[in-house]
């Protein structure tokens, strides 16, 4: 045997043994394997690639699936049990990977086995009864090492080598023109390519914000692939010369860094939409992704027939994506110019509506509600099957607090663009803030993490982990929430909200109000403009019935909120009113309470009954308070923090009533039942 091959076998034996040993650990991935083998991640990636033709992540996954099929053949465990036994956090994802690996679902393993001769069957049964857990693990380890070496050195067919996840990242295109003013045009071509690919359900497309950091990359394709977790990259260069468009596109296999498709276009500007459609079609053909007729129809749509309108639209995208007030206003002006050139330009109408929504999302005074509605309706009129048009209309309903009407528009938008990071983010926020549903919130937070993939210094990925952590703690998964908030901070130590959320997670774990207050005050001192932390400090003093201290912080919060014209924390006005009353500020207390009552009576969310229960409790109308609290207890998808309602001073007048204790018990019971459902 050649020396090089022997080293490869030794390397694979060691790597396989380590994966088998840690198979049940969902967190044992490429980085952990590299550390266990005392080598760098990049060195591990190269060695695995050279020895197996697979990426390191697929190498690990293949070993897990080989263990899984052996366990399933034994027939002692369910598919769900096996999935967790081999390190898959999701049974549905395990089923998907298993089917890709073996061509049939794990539930059919028994049907795939050949009949075993009676004598052999008896021997097998006897051996299973005799062996203990240690010999089972050791035996499986040896078998898998041999199987892995045999598999990796056996000649491969092309179909075996093509087994890979269909995921792609579109890198920022480079402007090859000497005219820097053409940058917006080249960026627009990149975004159009990205948007077309995002419409394909069977392709995971990394978000725009996650690839932006690679505009001037100093990393290799394999390093970027490891960070983004993708199978393919699209890169391109372009320029506009008069009425000519020069564009060069290439598709790269991330594992081998091999170019698998490339094309150069030298066309008239009038052909720009045909070029974009061709690029999407040729890429999907090259990587063998199934594109449905509906998806193809979406890809082939022309946003406008008027090139000047499209040019204004492309110019507007960069300031629009800045998400700053100044950038949004600049984007609106350019979108308006596009509309002036083409009054039927649906995408431009949709972006204006979305921009107006983002401008005053948290403002107490809403100036643009009717504009949002008008532009959204025009966007839908000219293209009712556009994800952007549907999202714009959803934003109008959120703005006007008709939340139940917003949801179908967001869900429909996701059908037309399954990879839309904006829509997934809004659905996560919808199920957290507007129509609480702990299971759906966690689902969309997880989907967001899959799209917002970036490297270890990525702010975008940090915020994705932040949202996932919040979804986990909301559903009562405290340890997991702490793990992901720590990941968030490791990715971006300057994450604005992560330390605040981490304080809450630690409080959920330890239930220590004193330490919680210390953490909050420490965070607030870093930035005295943080109104979210300021009102939280007041709230924890209020919960301890230290009303004088609570008033000090609540007063600053109320004054700053009013000065900034913000419409935030309306549900907290009842607590604040109670504190003001306790310190003798009765006139201001009455004003705050009236504001709260107005909010409670107009509230159409699932919090309505809780708000009304609070109102009647503070008015000492105990029966009405209990009626609404009992109605709230019947709601589905309670959040973890509702378990603390029993500690609320506003409910002091009814705390000793049996109906109160029964309602609190029902809230707790329903929450933990839902928690177990999500856990399964």
Res 638 pLDDT > 60: yes
User: Where does the pLDDT of residue 215 fall: very low under 50, low under 70, confident under 90, or very high at 90 and above?
Assistant: confident
Note whether 637 and 438 are within 8 A (CB). Answer: yes
Res 47 pLDDT > 90: no
CA 26/CA 93 separation, integer angstroms: 13
The single residue listed with the structure tokens 């039942």 is: 673
User: Where does the pLDDT of residue 455 fall: very low under 50, low under 70, confident under 90, or very high at 90 and above?
Assistant: very low
Distances (CA, A) of 54 to 59, 154, 598: 6, 14, 61
> Helix, strand or coil for residue 565?
coil
Q: Kindly state the percentage of the chain with pLDDT values over 70.
A: 87
Is it true that domain 167-300 has CATH number 3.30.420.40?
no
Domain boundaries, the chain: 3-161, 167-300, 307-417
What pLDDT does 89 receive?
67
Res 429 pLDDT > 80: yes
- Averaged confidence pLDDT in the chain: 83
Bridge partners of 259? 252
Q: What is the dihedral of CA 94, 100, 101, 105, to 10 degrees?
A: 60
User: Where does the pLDDT of residue 54 fall: very low under 50, low under 70, confident under 90, or very high at 90 and above?
Assistant: confident
Tens of pLDDT, residues 92-151: 667 877 877 888 888 888 655 444 444 433 333 333 334 343 333 344 444 444 433 333
Tens of pLDDT, residues 558-611: 999 888 888 788 889 999 999 999 999 999 999 999 999 998 888 777 788 999
User: Where does the pLDDT of residue 452 fall: very low under 50, low under 70, confident under 90, or very high at 90 and above?
Assistant: low
Distances (CA, A) of 375 to 350, 418, 426, 430: 6, 23, 19, 22
What pLDDT does 383 receive?
94
Res 523 pLDDT > 70: yes
Straight-line distance from the first to the last Cα atom of the chain, in angstroms, rounded to the nearest whole number: 49
CA 383/CA 389 separation, integer angstroms: 7
Superfamily of domain 307-417: Tetratricopeptide repeat domain (1.25.40.10)
Helices (H), 583-649: 586-602, 608-618, 622-633
Tens of pLDDT, residues 289-316: 888 888 888 888 899 999 999 999 999 9
CA 425/CA 373 separation, integer angstroms: 21
Region 499-510 average pLDDT: 93
Tens of pLDDT, residues 197-214: 888 988 888 877 778 778
Is it true that domain 3-161 has CATH number 1.10.10.60?
yes
Region 414-418 average pLDDT: 91
What pLDDT does 5 receive?
54
Tens of pLDDT, residues 144-199: 444 333 333 333 333 333 334 588 989 888 887 766 667 888 888 888 888 888 88
448, with CB counted inside 10 A (0-12, 13-18, 19+), is buried
Region 230-246 average pLDDT: 86
Note whether 221 and 214 are within 8 A (CB). Answer: no
What pLDDT does 133 receive?
39
Q: Give the lowest-confidence range in 155-169, 259-273, 300-314, 634-648.
A: 155-169
What pLDDT does 6 receive?
54
pTM summary value: 0.62
Q: Kindly state the percentage of the chain with pLDDT values over 90.
A: 38
Bridge partners of 241? 244
Q: What is the dihedral of CA 559, 562, 566, 571, to 10 degrees?
A: 70
């Amino acid at each position: 045997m050649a020396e090089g091959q022997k080293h490869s076998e030794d390397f694979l034996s060691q790597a396989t043994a380590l994966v088998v040993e840690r198979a049940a650990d969902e967190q044992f991935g490429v980085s952990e394997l590299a550390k266990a083998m005392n080598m760098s991640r990049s060195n591990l990636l190269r060695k695995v690639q050279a020895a197996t033709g697979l990426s390191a992540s697929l190498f690990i996954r293949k070993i897990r699936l080989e263990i899984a099929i052996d366990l399933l053949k034994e027939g002692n465990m369910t598919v769900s049990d096996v999935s967790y036994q081999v390190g898959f956090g999701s049974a549905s994802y395990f089923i998907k990977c298993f089917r890709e690996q073996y061509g049939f679902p794990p539930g059919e393993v028994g049907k795939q086995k050949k009949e075993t001769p009676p004598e052999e069957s008896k021997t097998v049964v006897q051996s299973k009864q005799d062996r203990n857990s240690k010999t089972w693990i050791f035996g499986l380890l040896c078998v898998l090492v041999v199987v892995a070496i045999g598999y990796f050195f056996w000649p491969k067919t092309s179909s075996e080598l093509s087994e890979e996840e269909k995921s792609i990242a579109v890198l920022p295109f480079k402007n090859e023109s000497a005219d820097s003013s053409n940058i917006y045009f080249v960026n627009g071509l990149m975004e159009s390519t990205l948007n077309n690919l995002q419409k394909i359900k069977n392709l995971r497309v990394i978000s725009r914000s996650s690839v932006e950091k690679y505009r001037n990359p100093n990393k290799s394709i394999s390093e970027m692939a490891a960070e983004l977790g993708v199978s393919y990259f699209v890169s391109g260069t372009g320029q506009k010369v008069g009425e000519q468009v020069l564009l060069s596109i290439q598709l790269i296999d991330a594992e081998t860094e091999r170019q698998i498709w490339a094309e150069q276009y030298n066309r008239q500007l009038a052909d720009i939409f045909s070029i974009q459609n061709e690029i999407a079609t040729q890429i999907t053909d090259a990587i063998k992704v199934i594109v449905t007729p509906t998806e193809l129809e979406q890809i082939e749509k022309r946003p406008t027939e008027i090139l000047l309108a499209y040019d204004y639209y492309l110019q507007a995208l960069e300031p629009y994506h800045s998400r700053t007030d100044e950038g949004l206003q600049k984007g609106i002006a350019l979108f308006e110019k596009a509309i002036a050139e083409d009054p039927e330009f649906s995408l431009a109408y949709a972006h204006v509506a979305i921009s107006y929504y983002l401008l005053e999302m948290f403002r107490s005074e809403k100036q643009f509600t009717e504009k949002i509605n008008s532009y959204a309706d025009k966007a839908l009129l000219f293209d009712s099957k556009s994800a952007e048009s549907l999202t714009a209309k959803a934003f109008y309903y959120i703005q006007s607090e008709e939340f139940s009407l917003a949801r179908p528009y967001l869900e429909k938008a996701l059908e037309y663009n399954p990879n839309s990071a904006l829509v997934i983010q809004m659905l996560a926020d919808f199920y957290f803030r507007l129509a609480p549903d702990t299971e759906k919130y966690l689902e969309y937070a997880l989907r967001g993490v899959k799209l917002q993939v970036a490297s270890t210094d990525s702010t975008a990925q940090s915020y994705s982990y932040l949202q996932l952590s919040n979804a986990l703690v909301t559903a009562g998964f405290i340890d997991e929430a702490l793990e992901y908030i720590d990941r968030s901070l490791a990715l971006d130590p300057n994450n604005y909200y992560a330390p605040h959320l981490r304080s809450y997670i630690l409080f959920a774990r330890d239930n220590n109000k004193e330490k919680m207050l210390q953490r909050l005050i420490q965070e607030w001192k870093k930035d005295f403009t943080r109104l979210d932390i300021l009102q939280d400090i007041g709230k924890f003093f209020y919960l301890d019935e230290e009303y004088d201290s609570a008033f000090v912080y609540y007063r600053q919060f109320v004054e700053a909120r009013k000065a900034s014209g913000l419409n935030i924390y309306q549900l907290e006005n009842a607590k604040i009113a109670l504190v003001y009353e306790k310190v003798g500020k009765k006139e201001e207390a009455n004003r705050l309470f009236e504001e709260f009552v107005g909010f409670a009576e107009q509230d159409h969310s699932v919090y309505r009954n809780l708000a009304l229960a609070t109102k009647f409790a503070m008015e000492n109308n105990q029966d009405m308070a209990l009626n609404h609290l009992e109605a709230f207890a019947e709601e589905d998808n309670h959040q973890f923090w509702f378990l603390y309602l029993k500690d609320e001073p506003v409910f002091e007048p009814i705390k000793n009533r049996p109906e109160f204790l029964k309602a609190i018990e029902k809230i707790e019971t329903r929450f933990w039942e839902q928690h177990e459902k999500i856990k399964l």
